[in-house]
């Protein structure tokens, strides 16, 4: 995927649009040695690169440790604590989105880029707000105007999500217009879907379901249930993903710079420090889940060749465990590692899902369980499980056996059924979708996350990240006011934001 490898050159061009705070764009046009425009396709590639920042949020990253999918035994490379710092702002990327839409306005095919711009605006506003709370929005990215705003006010989280939902609805409408104008003509610069507007439209609507489900505690304030129902009841206007073939997926390769996170080249460095996490692995064990044989290896100390499928040989470490004792157990072969054949046999690894069909089906099942829409929650629940099993290549007969277990059969539109949906959704998120499994836990408490002596946050799982220090240095008055209105004036990682109250 050479487009990712060459992102630095794209970024240099894109930076033209971020100079406006101190230099008028018109002034740049007088310099024959300086680029004054960037094709929207190149800006799109840069925006997608940020969205696919797998080193920060992707497979086998710290995000997946926060999700409690894995644990780390060697303190030189990471820790087990939940003493979080600040989150990242994405306004640099949003300025590139703004520039992409501006440049596309000069083209006949402007609607396809305009629709994607609305999606990206929604995506990154959601990215920032669900991590920190209130954020600058209505006055953001206006430093280049004739009346520049260099210290934007903070909009409330309710205002942010109202705008996110509006943008996603508008993106769906505009992409429909684009398809009528140009069909599904490739969008240049798109290394995720190769420019397929059908897949983009399905992704936009699936992402909207994700956002609506994340607002489950705010059904009375943002009319969440009716918006969810509007999408489900009108599939011709709001097409959704139809299978895992529609997943928004990042693929890796054996090209330098685009390798899977764990691979043969770093086997000796991290094989014995990445350990399967108990919150995740123990769910698989309890449910006799065939995915356990796909993602993990048995602990060598307990493995018996004459009983290779013995679940008792799969031993996880808990996220709250101290690293010293974990390392001792690891050295003794008493803990399970990621499946060597699946993850270490080559540099390509497995595809990484950002937004997927399985998540979509679980979201619909949850909406039915909660009474937002009519339908058969069991059918969507089973489809979500089957899609995850398909991703891992589980045999059809094993899938059927799994679904027929009494512990797995959907127990109805009640609290037990909801817990089943959320638990299987968590399992399907393994090493995918950034921190979505954490955000679902934060919203619902399911599954129960492990807390132990390595927590370093007073025995609590944090509920947010702090604002970046740069905001206190350049926009102090507004960030201070935002903290006062939300969290009593303290930038506390355990404070509760509007979204989850």
Angstrom CA distances, 456 to 102, 321, 327, 435, 452, stand at 46, 11, 19, 20, 9
Angle between helical axes of 110-132 and 157-182 (0-180°, round to 10): 160
Please say whether the beta carbons of 91 and 140 come within 8 A. yes
Please say whether the beta carbons of 44 and 115 come within 8 A. no
**In this model, does residue 270 exceed pLDDT 60?**
yes
Q: In the chain, pLDDT over 70 holds for what percent of residues?
A: 93
| Residue carrying the six token digits 């599954």 | 447
Angstrom CA distances, 19 to 34, 180, 448, 473, stand at 12, 36, 47, 20
pLDDT at 186: 79
pLDDT at 36: 56
Q: DSSP secondary-structure letter at 296?
A: B
Query: Residues 87-113: pLDDT tens digits?
Result: 999 999 999 999 999 998 887 778 999
pLDDT at 16: 39
313 confidence band (pLDDT: 50, 70, 90): very high
Angstrom CA distances, 196 to 92, 111, 394, 408, stand at 26, 14, 28, 36
Least Cα distance to 23 among 153, 136, 151, 148 occurs for: 148
Dist. CA 146–CA 261, nearest whole Å: 45
**In this model, does residue 146 exceed pLDDT 80?**
no
Dist. CA 380–CA 209, nearest whole Å: 14
Query: Residues 26-44: pLDDT tens digits?
Result: 333 445 444 457 899 999 9
pLDDT at 37: 72
Backbone angles phi, psi at 492, to 5 degrees: -100, 125
Q: DSSP secondary-structure letter at 466?
A: B
Q: Residue 371 CB: number of other CB atoms within 10 A?
A: 10
Beta bridge partners of 296: 338
Dist. CA 117–CA 102, nearest whole Å: 10
pTM value surpassing 0.95: no
Query: Residues 290-301: pLDDT tens digits?
Result: 999 999 999 999
| Half-sphere exposure at residue 282, Cβ-oriented, CA atoms within 13 angstroms | 12
Residue ranges of domains in the chain: 264-344
Number of H helices, E strands in the chain: 24, 6
435 or 20: which leads in pLDDT: 435
């Amino acid at each position: 995927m050479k487009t990712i490898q060459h992102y630095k050159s794209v970024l240099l061009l894109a930076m033209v649009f971020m100079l406006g705070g101190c230099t008028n764009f018109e002034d740049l046009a007088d310099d024959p040695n300086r680029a004054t425009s960037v094709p929207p396709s190149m800006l799109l590639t840069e925006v997608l690169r940020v969205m696919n920042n797998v080193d920060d949020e992707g497979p086998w990253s710290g995000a997946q440790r926060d999700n409690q999918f894995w644990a780390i035994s060697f303190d030189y490379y990471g820790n087990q604590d939940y003493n979080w710092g600040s989150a990242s702002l994405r306004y640099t990327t949003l300025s590139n989105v703004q520039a992409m839409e501006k440049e596309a306005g000069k083209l006949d095919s402007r609607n396809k880029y305009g629709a994607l711009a609305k999606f990206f605006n929604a995506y990154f506003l959601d990215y920032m707000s669900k991590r920190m709370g209130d954020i600058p929005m209505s006055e953001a990215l206006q430093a280049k105007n004739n009346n520049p705003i260099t210290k934007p006010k903070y909009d409330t989280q309710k205002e942010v999500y109202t705008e996110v939902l509006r943008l996603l609805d508008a993106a769906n409408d505009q992409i429909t217009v684009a398809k009528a104008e140009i069909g599904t003509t490739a969008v240049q610069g798109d290394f995720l879907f190769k420019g397929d507007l059908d897949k983009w439209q399905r992704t936009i609507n699936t992402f909207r379901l994700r956002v609506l489900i994340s607002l489950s505690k705010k059904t009375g304030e943002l009319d969440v249930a009716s918006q969810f129902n509007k999408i489900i009841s009108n599939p011709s206007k709001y097409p959704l993903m139809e299978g895992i073939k529609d997943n928004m997926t990042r693929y890796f390769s054996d090209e330098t710079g685009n390798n899977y996170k764990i691979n043969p080249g770093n086997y000796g460095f991290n094989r014995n420090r990445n350990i399967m996490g108990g919150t995740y692995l123990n769910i698989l064990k309890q449910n006799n889940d065939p995915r356990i044989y796909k993602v993990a290896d048995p602990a060598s100390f307990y493995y018996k060749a004459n009983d290779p499928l013995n679940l008792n040989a799969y031993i996880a470490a808990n996220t709250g465990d101290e690293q010293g004792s974990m390392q001792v157990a690891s050295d003794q072969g008493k803990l399970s590692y990621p499946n060597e054949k699946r993850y270490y046999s080559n540099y390509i690894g497995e595809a990484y899902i950002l937004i997927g069909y399985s998540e979509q089906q679980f979201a619909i099942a949850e909406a039915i369980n909660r009474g937002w829409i009519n339908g058969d929650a069991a059918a969507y629940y089973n489809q979500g499980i089957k899609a995850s099993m398909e991703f891992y290549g589980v045999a059809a007969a094993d899938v059927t056996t799994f679904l027929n277990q009494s512990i797995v059969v959907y127990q109805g539109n009640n609290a037990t059924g909801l817990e089943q949906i959320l638990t299987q959704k968590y399992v399907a998120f393994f090493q995918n979708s950034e921190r979505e499994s954490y955000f679902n836990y934060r919203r619902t408490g399911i599954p129960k996350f492990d807390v132990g002596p390595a927590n370093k946050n007073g025995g609590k799982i944090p509920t947010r990240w702090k604002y970046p220090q740069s905001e206190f240095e350049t926009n102090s008055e507004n960030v201070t006011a935002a903290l006062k209105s939300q969290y009593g004036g303290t930038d506390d990682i355990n404070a509760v934001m509007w979204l989850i109250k």
